[in-house]
Structure 1
Amino acid sequence: MNSPLPFDTNSQVLLIDDDPHLRQALSQTLDLAGLKVIALADARMLDMASARDWPGVVVSDIRMPGIDGIELLGQLHTQDAELPVVLITGHGDVPLAVQAMRAGAYDFLEKPFANDALLDSVRRALEVRRLVLENRSLRLALAERKELQTRLIGQAPSMGRLRDQIGALASTYADVLIVGETGAGKEVVARALHDLSARKDGPFVAINAGALAESVVESELFGHEQGAFTGAQKRRIGKFEYANGGTVFLDEIESMSLDIQVKLLRLLQERVVERLGSNQQIPLDIRVIAATKEDLRQAADQGRFRADLYYRLNVASLRIPPLRERSEDILTLFHHFAEAAAARHHLSLRELDGLQRTALIAHRWPGNVRELQNAAERFALGLELALDNNDTHTPTTSNHVVEIPGLGSNLSEQVESFERVLITQELSRPHNSLRSVAEALGLPRKTLSDKLKKHGLNFNGVTNEDTEQGS
């Protein structure tokens, strides 16, 4: 019995006809026209599930033993309703072919037909197929971009670059190293990489290496057999084996002992795992995403982290900017978290006053987004906006001067930073033109346009012509 034949991604035309002479003649015609062809005598050899997103077209006779052209059309369209299928008909099959056209066939050719007619139909079908797949790809990219903007909120250029990097890496099989301070959102980035990948239906296993006791870390990660050590009363599947087909997220990887690092390096290189007490190598199909808050290169130089493991992990790396480096996102994030908390607790959300806004922007946020989220939660509950920070203070007024620490080393830098935050805040509000933004800020359009360029900001709701016009 023949095994199912998948759709070859290198082919452009799949030709199915049980007449060997006609099949050979049509194959030669398509081949001479520069089209790559797979010719089959029987549609039952096909794996129909492979039709999805195949970049080609199908040409099939209607009258065939086993699966005829009409039945084939139906099976193919259950997998991809937009796959072009051209049917070859005898004179008596024309009414049947017209019925098939109404059911979704792309075209039909009545025997005998000229070679040019076949080539014209196939080329038009290929162009339709190209446009369909191109539109699908664009829709998917837009959906992924929207998904990332929902998960990783912020208009700072550094966040835009981070989202672009995640979008580029998500569909690959590469392991990734995420570098970011405590509370910056390393697990959020790791989950985004998983959810936007082909592994999204597989498990996502998050492991905090720093929280594992040294006595159990090897068993937790790699598993063990019954009797492998005192207390091992039954076999245990380790985290890596449990994540087969999915993603493992290793947070605080810098806290791993050097002995465990050796085993992790071998796992990454060979993609196999051995349970404690076993000599059997278990193949793994996993993606490893590691995260650290330290400079692993420096740790390697100091002998606290294996250099070979660092270089193995650092093939693809992502840096999450700390919140203090993107002050323009602070108010947007605060409102997002506060609104979510108010909705969760069924409370009305009060407005921030000017001094509170200044305090939020001036704060250094050593706990990053996690600290900001906690502050927003307290605010939504009606509690005082208390910011716990040892190196900055809540802005206070003295002799009509407002001190805003953390925004710059001198007055000019503080003014520029605060200006950028105020413009970003206004851009996040509903506006249908740059004129509307300028009026809200009390600025001429040309002045606002110059400031947008200076601060690296943009307003998507206007044309280039509008941004270039002054008032």
Structure 2
Amino acid sequence: MNKVILIDDEEHLRTACSQALELADIEVECFNNSNGALDCVTPVWPGVIVTDIRMPGASGLDVLNQAMELDPELPVILITGHGDIQMAVKAIRDGAYDFIEKPFASEILVDTVRRALEKRRLALENLALRTALEKGKGLENRLVGHSSEINRLRQEVENFAATDADVLIHGETGVGKELVARSLHDYSPRKNGRFVAINCGALPENMIESELFGHEAGAFTGALKKRIGRIEYANGGTLFLDELESMPMDLQIKLLRVLQDRVVVPLGSNDDVKIDVRIVAATKENLRERASAGYFREDLYYRLEVLSLFVPPLRQRGDDIPLLFKHFVDLACVRYNKPPISLTPAKISELRAHNWPGNVRELQNAALRFTLVNTDVVAPVDFDETQGLAEQMNTHEQNLIQTALAKNDNSLKATYEALKISRKTLYDKMQKHRIASETSERIE
């Protein structure tokens, strides 16, 4: 795994560097220019490149560009003279891993190369994990688990996907109703059409009709031009209506006509627009009870209930929790370039003991936190419906960087080494989260 391609036109420097690296048990292949130096490099080559910036012919920056074209994840370390530091800093912003300023001690070279090799090792482990996940894109890798409840659900999804009938999905908040709806679409003859999702509970009442059915120019104040609705936009594909129980009663009548006649009438128009769309709706409420109480149209309920799916809460499929948690951890490792993480028996017991009131969404957030913070004990985070996954990830990332800075007495070098990231990555993330350094140490 410990391999280095060393490119430098100065023979004495090549000899000194290769000896230092070989004494550190690092395999070195030397070149006096870039010709043929990168012939062995592939996206799975287990090594790093060390190159001088200034050389006759192709420069170190040319080598960097060639390496980035072959594999953007490949670490490239630049050797630079004092007058080339600004060039090296720019190269780091363009993708180089690090630079070493001449003259340098052999310990600095070995330390920098070892950190780059560790980064490469993690990247290749991540690639292997990503490849394994890509191979498992079937329904079992979407609706994860081995319980009888999830096996039944997968079988029903397969059966219903083959039909073109409308479907009603029941389940608590956070169980994955949209994922089930997407699976129905992706495994159906409509898979090449659009999957259009709309949350009926997230739109103001005065906007939902225009959003669903569209409008003509001048249909209402502010309607300056014609706009097709989401139903028509989904033509040839699938329309997913989440939180159907929130749809106003007057729009339920119009939706019933869509289901029966497959036509829509935009606001401000008298003309029917024919559509070819499959409708999948979801609810967290008992629509039968709401219909009996007069809060939901009975005819619409019975029209949708012909095919129905129930997505069970996590508490009813406890054996699936460790599998599902590990699945989310693996996905997070791929997304954030982390090495694969194993779960200990103690962690699995802790996962089983938690009630998971937020269901799969809460479990996914807990897996994300566990992956990013890498704590010894899984501490499921509080389920927060007001924040999306990206917002919560940004918060965790900011807290992690601030904690690492504090633990390392605000030493930027110690911080990026502890976090196993490059100095450029730390700088970019501190800028992103507006984290001020309390040290005069320059991150460049």
Name the SS for the 1:199 alignment partner.
Answer: coil
- Which one-letter code corresponds to 2:157 in the other structure? I
Name the SS for the 1:210 alignment partner.
Answer: coil
- 1:163 alignment partner in structure 2: 154
Structure 1 residue 242 corresponds to structure 2 residue 233: yes
1:298 shift after superposition: 0.8
Change (3 A) 1:146 1:339: closer
Alignment of 1:193-232 (within 5 A): 193-232=184-223
- Which one-letter code corresponds to 2:261 in the other structure? E
Change (3 A) 1:299 1:173: same
Contact 2:238 2:280 in 1 (8 A): yes
Name the SS for the 1:249 alignment partner.
Answer: strand
1:389 shift after superposition: 6.8
Choose which of 364, 379, 386 in structure 2 pairs with 1:386.
379
Greater radius of gyration (CA):
1
Identity of aligned residues (%): 58
Contact 1:363 1:389 in 2 (8 A): no
Name the SS for the 1:228 alignment partner.
Answer: coil
Per-residue deviation, residues 243-290 of structure 1 (Å, max 9, x unmatched)? 111110000000111111111111111111001111000111110000
Name the SS for the 1:198 alignment partner.
Answer: coil
- 1:344 alignment partner in structure 2: 335
Per-residue deviation, residues 282-326 of structure 1 (Å, max 9, x unmatched)? 111110000001110011111111111100110000001111110
1:349 shift after superposition: 4.3
Choose which of 244, 262, 277 in structure 2 pairs with 1:286.
277
Per-residue deviation, residues 107-160 of structure 1 (Å, max 9, x unmatched)? xxxxxxxxxxxxxxxxxxxxxxxxxxxxxxxxxxxxxx9721111111001111
- 2:54 alignment partner in structure 1: none
Alpha-carbon distance in structure 2 between the residues aligned to 1:327 and 1:274: 47
Alpha-carbon distance in structure 2 between the residues aligned to 1:211 and 1:287: 22
Contact 1:178 1:320 in 2 (8 A): yes
Alpha-carbon distance in structure 1 between the residues aligned to 2:143 and 2:325: 13
Change (3 A) 1:195 1:350: closer
1:383 shift after superposition: 4.8
1:343 shift after superposition: 2.4
Name the SS for the 2:210 alignment partner.
Answer: helix
- 2:260 alignment partner in structure 1: 269
Choose which of 292, 297, 309 in structure 1 pairs with 2:300.
309
Gaps of 5+ in 2: 1-135, 384-444
Alpha-carbon distance in structure 2 between the residues aligned to 1:275 and 1:312: 22
1:350 shift after superposition: 4.4
Name the SS for the 2:227 alignment partner.
Answer: coil
Name the SS for the 1:164 alignment partner.
Answer: helix
- Which one-letter code corresponds to 1:361 in the other structure? R
Contact 1:365 1:389 in 2 (8 A): no
Alpha-carbon distance in structure 1 between the residues aligned to 2:341 and 2:264: 54
Gaps of 5+ in 1: 1-144, 391-471
Alpha-carbon distance in structure 1 between the residues aligned to 2:219 and 2:227: 10
- Which one-letter code corresponds to 1:222 in the other structure? F
Contact 1:349 1:380 in 2 (8 A): no
Alignment of 1:57-68 (within 5 A): none
- Which one-letter code corresponds to 2:346 in the other structure? L
- Which one-letter code corresponds to 1:213 in the other structure? P
- 1:63 alignment partner in structure 2: none
- Which one-letter code corresponds to 1:387 in the other structure? P
Larger RCO (CA within 8 A; separation ≥ 6): 2
Per-residue deviation, residues 399-457 of structure 1 (Å, max 9, x unmatched)? xxxxxxxxxxxxxxxxxxxxxxxxxxxxxxxxxxxxxxxxxxxxxxxxxxxxxxxxxxx
Structure 1 residue 326 corresponds to structure 2 residue 348: no
Name the SS for the 1:288 alignment partner.
Answer: strand
Name the SS for the 2:228 alignment partner.
Answer: coil
Structural RMSD (CA):
1.7
Alpha-carbon distance in structure 1 between the residues aligned to 2:382 and 2:330: 24
Alpha-carbon distance in structure 1 between the residues aligned to 2:277 and 2:344: 49
Alignment of 1:416-427 (within 5 A): none
Alpha-carbon distance in structure 2 between the residues aligned to 1:208 and 1:245: 20
Spell out structure 1 runs of 4+ moving beyond 6 A: none
- 1:99 alignment partner in structure 2: none
Contact 1:152 1:159 in 2 (8 A): yes
Alpha-carbon distance in structure 2 between the residues aligned to 1:338 and 1:194: 26
TM-score in terms of structure 2 length: 0.54
Change (3 A) 1:146 1:338: closer
Alpha-carbon distance in structure 2 between the residues aligned to 1:298 and 1:149: 33
- Which one-letter code corresponds to 2:218 in the other structure? G
- Which one-letter code corresponds to 1:373 in the other structure? Q
Per-residue deviation, residues 43-97 of structure 1 (Å, max 9, x unmatched)? xxxxxxxxxxxxxxxxxxxxxxxxxxxxxxxxxxxxxxxxxxxxxxxxxxxxxxx
Name the SS for the 1:248 alignment partner.
Answer: strand
Alpha-carbon distance in structure 2 between the residues aligned to 1:387 and 1:195: 31
Alpha-carbon distance in structure 2 between the residues aligned to 1:376 and 1:387: 8
Alignment of 1:50-61 (within 5 A): none
Alpha-carbon distance in structure 2 between the residues aligned to 1:340 and 1:164: 24
Alignment of 1:150-189 (within 5 A): 150-189=141-180
Contact 1:247 1:289 in 2 (8 A): yes
Alignment of 1:10-25 (within 5 A): none
- 2:388 alignment partner in structure 1: none
Alpha-carbon distance in structure 1 between the residues aligned to 2:256 and 2:143: 30
1:386 shift after superposition: 2.0
- 2:139 alignment partner in structure 1: 148
- Which one-letter code corresponds to 2:199 in the other structure? N
Name the SS for the 1:336 alignment partner.
Answer: helix
1:382 shift after superposition: 2.3
Larger displacement relative to structure 2 (223-232 or 381-390): 381-390
Name the SS for the 1:216 alignment partner.
Answer: helix
